[in-house]
Amino acid sequence: MMQKNLVIVESPAKAKTIEKFLGADYKVLSSYGHIRDLKEKGMSIDVEHDFDPFYVIPPDKQEVVKSLKKAAQNVQTVWLASDEDREGEAIAWHLYTVLGLDEKNSKRIVFHEITKDAIFNAIQHPRNIDLNLVYSQQARRILDRLVGFELSPILWRKIMPSLSAGRVQSVAVRLIVEREREINNFQAEAFFRIVAAFILLDGKTVVKAELNKRFKTKEEAYAFLESLKNATFTVDEVNTRPGKKLPAPPFTTSTLQQEASRKLNFSVSQTMSVAQKLYEAGLITYMRTDSVNLSTLALNASKKEIESEFGSNYVKIRQHHTKSKGAQEAHEAIRPTYISNRNVEATPAEQKLYELIWKRTVASQMADAELERTTITIGISNNDSDKFHIHGEVIKFDGFLRVYLEDNDDENQNESVEAILPPMHINEKLNLYEAIANERLTQRPFRYTEASLVHKLEELGIGRPSTYAPTISTIQQRGYVIKGSKEGEARQLAILTLKNMQISSRSKTELVGADKNKLMPTDSGIVVNDFLTTHFQLVLEYNFTADIEKEFDKVADGEMKWTETLHKFYKIFHPIVEQVSSSRTEHKIGERLLGNDPDTGKPVSAKIGRFGPFVQIGSADDEEKPQFASLSKNQSIETITLDDALQLFKLPRTIGEWEGKTITASVGRFGPYLKYDNTFTTIPKGYDPLYITLEEACQMITEKKNRDASKVIKTFAEDATVQILNGRFGPYISYNKANFKIPKDLVAAELSYDDVMKIIKNSPEKTAKTAKAAKTNKTVKTAAKTKASAKKKKS
């Protein structure tokens, strides 16, 4: 029997969930994302004719389109049910066009949650494709292609091959580079913070108070402690006032990304991937949104859940309002589809994210937390200007805190401890137990995390919910930014202690500037950023980029033609491209002159090259060929000194002889290493190739030999390229740079050559993780079959 209806969505998981709700009259198929895009090679845009795009169906989508066309011809109505944002609208429009649909036999439906009620409500209220949303998506896609297509060749010629540039990505890199430079230029200043411990009249209770002043030098801090010896201390003021804490609004895309990073340690892309699965399983509402609104249904469900779980005094229904102008992705915040479902059956990551969304949603409709904040001021008898202060905070009614408290990015937030204070009265005399002056350093700016970068982009109005995760992934994939760690620098800090009328002094070592999992620019990122900000300053201005986003919003709202925003941009952008492309530079972009080599007098410079950053003695114009040395992993073109650079030319360094063969130390693309007997050994972290001893080198080489020996389980005389090796997950077969699993019921060491070739021959194609690996495995298996066949004929 022919089905009456075909529903097309963009993902198989979404199709599977929707199919459960619809009857036999509906068939649900997936388009697997976009079925059409700009041609991969070339600009694929006719600039002369109003930026007319040239769309093609990629090879990997040909079969999908073919099956969708066939299915569409055999039904009465095609329902285009892709997501309700601009990307989803564009997918629907491309399907409508490519499948040859018309308004009589097709309908557009949207929903922001995959529930039975939402699906049937959408079917009862279909609409036409919103061309304004389509044009807005198309304008963004074309503009980004124009920028990439015209900028990238300039980067290849002026800096080095294989570089690329993107509109929003370049602005994100700029933010990270500027922050890194702020950190490099930051000069930490020392100061002394005074904390005193006082004993109350009962002789037992001790309270800590902080002085309202900082001292710049150790001498000043010492003098102040000295003055306390002859002072008496009295409670001057006790100020108690009520306070409130309000719950955070429900999640938008960016706030979900930020909180999942802080609370769950998820990357931005991981958060979006997990949220997508929850949405497609019908567990949460649409995850690309900048709205904080909740539907009436969700508000009522929240109220019912809170009353049932915590009592009616915990309920405070409120409708949060979206601050972001041009909120355009969806019409509701991210929330569970059914508030009554506190837990879901899913993977651990999905459960964690769902719980976070559930708590945030419910907490947003709960009563404020009621607090009592107390400030106590302690006077010093011989000092009228300086005071000690104690701050305490008591929760009188926990309200929403019963469920959830939002985190923040303040790395010093644990320094101020909230405490319940003992009863204290004005004019009460206090005894000084001890006073400690701790030397501290002013805090440098913080490097961005993925989450704090999303927050900054949103604050500047750059990008939209659908672009944050791809932007952050792209700048890392292109090698412009890494998520890395810095070891920090050990600093000696002074501590002065006044106790029993005596002042003692000691010091402690503190690690300053250490960072973990923060975004840092690479040398490539710095060089490309400097080139773009110098020559394309206007295009990379934060306000300019934000204004373009606003124009895309206007296109989506029907207030501006999509071609108008492209003409405005291209009129500014293209002349700069032509000018920069034709201009000549005196020296290579990104080159930094460090000084002269004291031995030869030749210039020493740091540069970026095809294989990464390096330093050079001499120039291409010299009669002698310049000398080159790669930078080590922890060095940068931006900060390397002349002395550091000259040290690199001492490599490769001959360490000595061992068993009649020479050991040398050097630095390569992947870090420092030893070379011995045509084999290479990685130098472990903590050892410097310039100072490593012969004894240490011999030990490292011996340890590597032992590891390698235990790695090889078996080799075969029939073919030296076939080996059985030990790996992280057990024994496996290595053959012609491809790996094959050994069945669990077989003993690796007992396998014959014929057994191994049979395993390779019968290995499933899906074991290859990449297209390249699949091709390799296919070639290897063909070779294995050929060898087996040849052996059979021979016998």
> Catalytic site residues?
286
Asked if 387 contacts 198 with a C-beta cutoff of 8 angstroms, the reply is: no
Say whether 373 sits in a helix, a strand or coil. strand
Which of 611, 264, 635, 692 lies closest to 486 in space, CA to CA? 635
Helices (H), 281-347: 296-309
167/151 Cα distance (integer angstroms): 10
- Going by DSSP bridges, is the β-strand pair 730-735/722-727 parallel, antiparallel, or unpaired? antiparallel
Answer whether 196's CB lies under 8 Å from 473's CB: no
Contact in structure between 788 and 759 (CB atoms under 8 Å): no
644-652 contact pairs (CB < 8 A, 24+):
645/594, 645/604, 645/606, 645/615, 646/597, 646/598, 646/604, 647/690, 648/615, 649/615, 649/617, 650/690, 651/689, 651/690
Phi, psi (degrees; rounded to nearest 5) at 119: -65, -50
Question: 515 - beta bridge partners?
Answer: 486
**In sequence order, which residues have a C-beta less than 8 Å from that of residue 446 and are 6 or more positions away?**
409, 411, 452, 518
Continuous segment of H or E residues that includes residue 390: strand 383-397
Task: Please choose, from the candidates 608, 585, 605, the residue with its C-alpha nearest in 3D space to the C-alpha of residue 479.
Answer: 608
Please, are residues 498 and 229 in contact by the beta-carbon 8 Å criterion? yes
Q: Which residues of 223-241 are buried (b: 16+ CB within 10 A; e: fewer)?
A: ebbeebeeeebebeebeee
Rounding to the nearest 10 degrees, give the CA dihedral for residues 57, 59, 62, 65: -40
CA torsion sign, 66 to 67 to 73 to 78? negative
Residues 165, 154: Cα–Cα separation, whole Å: 10
Phi, psi of 305 (to 5 degrees): -65, -45
Task: Tell me 696's DSSP state.
Answer: H
| Residue 325 structure tokens | 């102008």
- Residue 161: Cβ within 10 Å count: 8
d(CA 459, CA 448): 14
Name, in order, each residue with C-beta under 8 angstroms of 496's C-beta and a sequence gap of 6 or more. Answer: 192, 218, 221, 222, 225, 436, 437, 503, 504, 505
Task: Note whether 562 and 135 are within 8 A (CB).
Answer: yes
- The enclosing H or E element of 264 equals helix 253-264
